[in-house]
């Protein structure tokens, strides 16, 4: 696996990713308070998506590198269930939107609230289903076992008795002198 470019390694590092995600969440919250900063909200969404993708790619390389360095068998372990991440990504914004929809006038407020609560219910159901399915599965074997590689030699290797019999006489003198 190739090492990701410097841009991906920098943007995907937790020192960069966590502040960008925090600022993006703050900008999205401010967007709910002040609709005139919609352009800034879209920019925050784009920045968060870019940083999340870079972080995912960087972590994939880091996991591969750790597995390579430890010579563990099989593919490196994944970071976690994708459905759980998706469900959390739906529940958090839906709670924020449900809170903010009370300030809308007319039918828009209750309609948004119902849609958001339905999305939260679906996400919660996905989390519960995933949790129940994962608890029934057998635990995988440890990946930290020593890996042995068996390769056939390219040239024919003689047996031990053939190798000793092919030694010259002066070698036999040295070998026999140490046994007395």
The pLDDT of 136-145, averaged and rounded, is 54
From CA 30, how far away is CA 81, in angstroms rounded? 30
Provide the number of structural domains found in the chain. Answer: 2
In a domain, 57, yes or no: yes
Q: Are residues 125 and 58 in the same domain?
A: no
Q: Are residues 1 and 70 in the same domain?
A: yes
Residue 55 binned pLDDT confidence (cut-offs 50, 70, 90): very high
In a domain, 144, yes or no: no
The pLDDT of 29-46, averaged and rounded, is 89
Residues 90-118: tens digit of each pLDDT: 666 666 666 666 665 656 666 666 777 77
Residue 158 binned pLDDT confidence (cut-offs 50, 70, 90): confident
From CA 93, how far away is CA 91, in angstroms rounded? 6
The pLDDT of 63-88, averaged and rounded, is 66
Residue 49 binned pLDDT confidence (cut-offs 50, 70, 90): very high
Residue 83 binned pLDDT confidence (cut-offs 50, 70, 90): low
Q: Are residues 65 and 43 in the same domain?
A: yes
In a domain, 149, yes or no: no
Q: Are residues 26 and 54 in the same domain?
A: yes
| Residue 86 domain boundaries | 80-138
Q: Are residues 24 and 3 in the same domain?
A: yes
Which pLDDT score, from 0 to 100, does residue 54 have? 93
What is the sign, positive or negative, of the torsion defined by CA atoms of 46, 52, 55, 60?
negative
Which pLDDT score, from 0 to 100, does residue 96 have? 67
From CA 116, how far away is CA 32, in angstroms rounded? 15
In a domain, 99, yes or no: yes
Average pLDDT, rounded, for the chain: 76
In a domain, 163, yes or no: no
* Predicted TM-score of the model (pTM): 0.44
Element (H, E) at 44: helix 38-70
Token digits of residue 142: 């440890």
Please check the confidence at residue 34 and state whether its pLDDT lies above 90: no
Please check the confidence at residue 124 and state whether its pLDDT lies above 70: yes
């Amino acid at each position: 696996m190739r090492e990701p470019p410097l841009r991906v390694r920098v943007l995907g590092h937790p020192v960069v990713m966590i502040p960008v995600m925090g600022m993006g969440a703050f900008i999205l919250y401010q967007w709910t308070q002040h609709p005139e900063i919609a352009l800034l909200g879209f920019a925050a969404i784009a920045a968060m998506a870019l940083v999340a993708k870079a972080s995912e790619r960087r972590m994939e390389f880091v996991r591969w590198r750790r597995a390579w360095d430890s010579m563990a068998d099989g593919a490196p372990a994944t970071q976690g269930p994708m459905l759980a991440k998706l469900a959390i990504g739906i529940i958090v914004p839906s709670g924020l939107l449900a809170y903010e929809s009370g300030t809308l006038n007319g039918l828009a407020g209750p309609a948004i609230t119902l849609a958001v609560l339905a999305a939260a219910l679906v996400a919660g159901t996905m989390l519960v289903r995933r949790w129940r399915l994962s608890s029934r599965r057998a635990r995988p074997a440890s990946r930290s076992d020593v890996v042995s590689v068996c390769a056939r030699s390219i040239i024919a290797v003689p047996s031990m008795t053939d190798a000793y019999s092919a030694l010259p006489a002066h070698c036999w003198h040295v070998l026999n002198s140490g046994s007395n």
